[in-house]
Amino acid sequence: MDAPEFRFNDIAPYDDAEFQQKMQTLVKEPGFINAINYAIPKDDVPALIDDLLKIKNKYDFQHQIMFPFLEMLAKTTTSGITIGGVKHWSSTMNYTFITNHRDIVLDASFLNLAFLRKNMPTTEVAIGDNLLVFDWINDLVRLNKSFIVKRNTGLREGLMAAKKLSAYIHYTIMDKHESIWIAQREGRAKDSSDRTQESLVKMLALGGEGLFMDRLKEINLMPVAISYEYDPNDYLKAREFLLRRRDPAFKKSQRDDLFSMETGLLQFKGRVHFQLTPRINTRIDQLGDFGDVNTAARHVCCLIDQAIHRSYEIFPINYVAFDMLFNTSRFARKYTEEIKADFIAYLDRQLDKVDLPDVTAEEREWMREKIMTMYANPLKNKLKTILGGELI
């Protein structure tokens, strides 16, 4: 049998032995050069390329290039990035950090930034091949400790790809002694009501040894709640909701996806918080094992969802959105009238960005409600988890 690193060489991050060769290829790519020119002043590009060519491995790349870049991005597009629950992390263990999904690019990047600030090891990052629209993007992410999730395959190919992906995750945790990041579902929850995909949990249990639950325990699932104060893509999601309302067969284009990535990356997000929670192994033990995989996966999804929902950071605008959506003043003590007025003005500015023809007053109000729902749902789900279902 081939050694694991060769079995996974089509999906794994690039090995350090090939790092410099891959980097030499990357810096010659016109698309990569254009991206750099867009991100930094043109006069600084030659010096950056010289620095990139001197780097010998992924560790140095993350610490010398990505760390300062992410700090710059955090400074210019957020009001600060914080992390809690670090007491649940141990330097003697490797984890599968499973999170809700807010931003296509930055969920994992900002989590790793929070780890870098605390001198904690970064994670390998799961990234769907649907985002690798150019070969140079594939090279860049794999130089930056990402591994590839193959999507849109046939049924037989999809099962083989899922088995390989699961085997790679178990190998990374158990043999490489690296942690990984993976989102709880494919794609973001458009309404910010986060739910773990059963198929994802089943995939994670394809690798490893023993019964279904034993295989999940092997990779130390640690739910992490991600909270963004503002979602720069909120109006784009509302626009997509309206297009689907007008035409149920509507599908986003690759250009739409790229613009969403750019908007999420470069526009203002306010405060960003990550909350680590205890790994769920003890809770899995309390569940016991089940006769069928579907029931087992459903229960594990509930454990992950509950951990994430109860750990959201709730910002004043979440309280405003909840009260406006449900026509209540339940949380009026959590915000001022000025904060409420600012949020209403923010909604109008975002709705003004929706570039669709012939938007009626009714459609605009419908989209307004959709955006308010996005901001109310984290609080709504937290209340459901803490209070057992009663909201108002």
Q: What is the pLDDT of residues 357-381, one digit of tens each?
A: 999 999 999 999 999 999 999 999 9
The model's pLDDT over 13-38, given as tens digits with 9 standing for 90+, comes to 999 999 999 999 999 999 999 988 88
Distance, CA of 291 to CA of 182 (rounded, Å): 27
Domain membership flag for residue 249 = no
Distance, CA of 126 to CA of 131 (rounded, Å): 11
Domain that holds residue 345: 316-387
Query: Does 295 lie in the same domain as 325?
Result: no
The model's pLDDT over 137-169, given as tens digits with 9 standing for 90+, comes to 999 999 999 999 998 778 888 899 999 999 999
Burial class (CB in 10 A: 0-12, 13-18, 19+), 342: middle
Residue 72 clears pLDDT 50, i.e. is over it: yes
Query: Does 332 lie in the same domain as 291?
Result: no
Query: Does 283 lie in the same domain as 202?
Result: yes
Domain membership flag for residue 262 = no
Q: Is the pTM of this model over 0.75?
A: yes
Query: Does 342 lie in the same domain as 276?
Result: no
Query: Does 369 lie in the same domain as 278?
Result: no
Burial class (CB in 10 A: 0-12, 13-18, 19+), 348: exposed
Distances (CA, A) of 220 to 181, 216, 235, 252, 297: 12, 7, 36, 35, 15
Q: What total of structural domains would you count in the chain? A: 2
Q: Return the sign of the alpha-carbon dihedral for residues 42, 48, 50, 52.
A: negative
Query: Does 348 lie in the same domain as 282?
Result: no
Buried b (16+ CB within 10 A) or exposed e, 175-193: ebebbbbbbbbeebbbebb
83: tokens are 């992390």
**Per-residue model confidence (pLDDT) at position 2:** 47
**Per-residue model confidence (pLDDT) at position 5:** 55
CATH code at position 115: 3.40.1130
Domain membership flag for residue 243 = no
Among 287, 309, 331, where does a domain finish? 309
Angle between helices 234-246 and 361-387 (to 10 degrees): 110
For the sheet with 124-128, list strands across it: 80-84, 271-276, 221-228, 96-99, 180-183, 124-128, 146-149
Of 236, 274, 263, the C-alpha closest to 85 is: 274
Query: Does 69 lie in the same domain as 9?
Result: yes
Instruction: Name residue, tokens 């594990």.
Output: 300
Domain membership flag for residue 263 = no
**Per-residue model confidence (pLDDT) at position 282:** 96
Domain membership flag for residue 329 = yes
Domain membership flag for residue 338 = yes
Residue 180 bridge partners (DSSP) = 96, 124
Query: Does 379 lie in the same domain as 279?
Result: no
Query: Does 19 lie in the same domain as 152?
Result: yes
Among 259, 289, 309, where does a domain finish? 309
Of 220, 231, 208, 337, the C-alpha closest to 282 is: 220
Phi/psi region, residue 187 (left: phi>0; alpha: psi -120 to 50; beta: rest), is: left
Query: Does 288 lie in the same domain as 334?
Result: no
Distance, CA of 273 to CA of 312 (rounded, Å): 8
Domain membership flag for residue 244 = no
Distance, CA of 347 to CA of 341 (rounded, Å): 10
Among 278, 309, 340, where does a domain finish? 309
Amino acid letter for position 252: K
Domain membership flag for residue 8 = yes
Query: Does 321 lie in the same domain as 303?
Result: no
Query: Does 304 lie in the same domain as 320?
Result: no
